[in-house]
Every structure is written in C-alpha cells, then in structure tokens.
Amino acid sequence: MKDEGIAEALAVHGERRGDRVFADETADLSEEERRELESLIRVAERLERRMQPVDAPPAFVKSLGKELVEAAERRVSERERRHRITVISAAVAGAVVSIASVIGGVVVLIRWLRTRTEARQASTA
Amino acid sequence: MREESDATLIARAKKDPEAFGALYERYVDKIYNYICYRVGNDQDAEDLTARTFYRALDHFPSYEDRGAPFSAWLYRIAHNLVANWHRDHSRRKMVSLDDVVLTAPQGQGPAARTERSDEDDVMLTAVRRLAPDRQQLIILKHVEGMTNGEIGEVMGRTEGAIKSLYHRTLVTLREDLADEWERLT
C-alpha cells in the first residue's frame, strides 16, 4: 500500500498534473511516507535537470533523410516492378492454360468424331 | 496548414517515399536522443539511428497500425539495436566505463563539455549502471518527456507496471548516489 501510494504520487508529480491532484494523492500518506516521497522527488528533479534533450547534428539528419527517401524510392519502384512481373506472368500463364484447354478440347472433339465415324463404318460393314 | 497525422502519413508512405521522409523528420531527433543517451557517443548514436530507420524502412511494408503510436515501433527497433550493440561491445570488452559515460548535448562544444559538473557525470554514470529497461524508462521520461502511459506503450507494459518500475528505479538511484552526493555537497 505504501509503495503504491508513493508510486502514484511520483507519477502525479512527474506528469505535472497539478498541485490539487498531488495534494489529493498524498493526503493519505504518513509522515514517514511523505519524507520518503520528498527524497525521491529530489532524485527525480536532479534527473530532470541533468538529462536534457540532445539535438541530432543537422548535417547528419539532412543526409540520412536524403538517403532514406532515395532508398524508399528504389524499394517502391522495385515493388512496382515485381508487381508488374507477377501480373504479366499470371497473364501469360493464364493464356497458356487457355490455349492448352482449347487445343485439348479440339483433340478430344476430333477423337470423339473419329471414334463415332469408325463405329458407324463398322456397323454398316 | 494542419500537420498530417501519423496514420495518414503511414498509409501514404506505403507508396510515397516522401511520406516516409516526413515520418523520419518527425521522429529522428527523438530516436537519436534516445540512442545517444543509451550508447554515450555521437558516432555510434548516428550509426544506430541510421540503422533504426533503415530497419524501419525494410519492415515498413508489413507494418500494421495496431493502436500503439508509430514512435513506439521505432523505439522498439532502436531498443533492440542498442541491446545488440551493448552485447557486442561487452563481448569484445573494448569499451571501458569511462568511454561510455554519457556525452553532453550536441551544440555546446568541447569547452562546455569540460565545464560539466562532477554531479552531471555522477548522475549520468549512475543511470548507465541501471538495468537496460530502467535506463530506457529514465530516458523516455526525463529526456523525451513521455507520460507513464506512453512509456508503457513503448515498453509493452501497463501504466501501473511503469509507475512501479519508476519508483523502484528512483530508490536504486538514490541509494547508488547517496555517497557521491554527500561527497559533492
């Protein structure tokens, strides 16, 4: 319970949710817990002061940005090229299958006609 | 003109390289910042930042928006690369603790760096002695200024778990720094 209360109060303090919220959150803490909280807040405030954001060097940001956009362009055109190849391959495969089906159909028809003619000739003989 | 949302840029970036460039511009400083504090030197920070964005570009076609911010995805990539970097460096035993003390912010110049107080060094070295997840939490909170909820999304933990981890981390730092601060004050 003690740890939970202090952790919650630290969160309220760290996220600057306002004095009233902080007062509400710490209302139930004992004197010992308040001292513990104040000590931890001091550590947090020192961290806050020491750990300032660092700026990335502008030249680095610019050159990496340019490289990334160029790489992204290459990848997009590569994807499009692969997509085109897939579509063309599928169309060719479809055409081959269609032609094979037509040829197959014609062969079956010819065989069927031949068989029928032979059967007729045999029956008249 | 209103700034495009991340979701709009992400959708556009699948086909438009310029949109990926815009996402990069939006997050490069944050990612660089995070990496710089984790590795402690500018050259490796630049290298790992570049690798983070190249890896993001590689995996971008399969990226799906599952509700977590896009930055959380980038931070996770950066975190994994930094973890590999530390593993490689500890294996090679090439980097002493002095080498990995955090650098001063860019733009302040060498003179400013030498003027840094002992307290800065003590604090930053103590942060670097923390476990990786605790370092990540401290950097995201104090350098990036994220809320516990946002940190939870990046680290894949609940907000409650982050509050508790932060509390334990401050206790550890206080114990670690007690003697040093007494010496300095």
Task: List, for residues B42-95, the tens digit of each pLDDT value.
Answer: 999 999 999 999 999 999 988 888 878 899 999 999 999 999 999 988 776 544
CA end-to-end span of chain B, whole Å?
51
By 3-state DSSP, what share of chain B in percent is helix, strand and coil, each rounded to 5? 75, 0, 25
CA nearest neighbour of A10 among B137, B31, B177: B137
pLDDT of residue B112: 43
Across the range B150-170, mean pLDDT stands at 93
**pLDDT of res. B77:** 96
Q: Using one digit for the tens of pLDDT, what is the confidence trace for A31-52?
A: 888 888 899 999 999 888 888 8
| CB contact set of A93 (below 8 Å; sequence gap of 6+) | none
Cα–Cα distance, B16 to A3 (Å, whole number): 50
Residue of B nearest to A17 (CA): B147
Instruction: Please give the residue that has the higher pLDDT: either A15 or A66.
Output: A66
- For residue A55, the chain B residue with the least C-alpha distance is B106
Confidence grade of residue B98 (pLDDT, cut at 50, 70, 90) = very low
Q: Taking the model in full, what pTM does it have?
A: 0.74
- Cβ atoms of residues B173 and B141 within 8 Å: no
Q: Are the CB atoms for B1 and B42 separated by under 8 Å?
A: no
- Contact residues, chain A, for B171 at CB < 8 Å: 40
ipTM: 0.76
**Contact: A56, B49; criterion CB under 8 Å:** yes
Given the structure tokens 């969160």, which residue do they identify? A11
B123 in A contact zone (CB under 8 Å):
yes
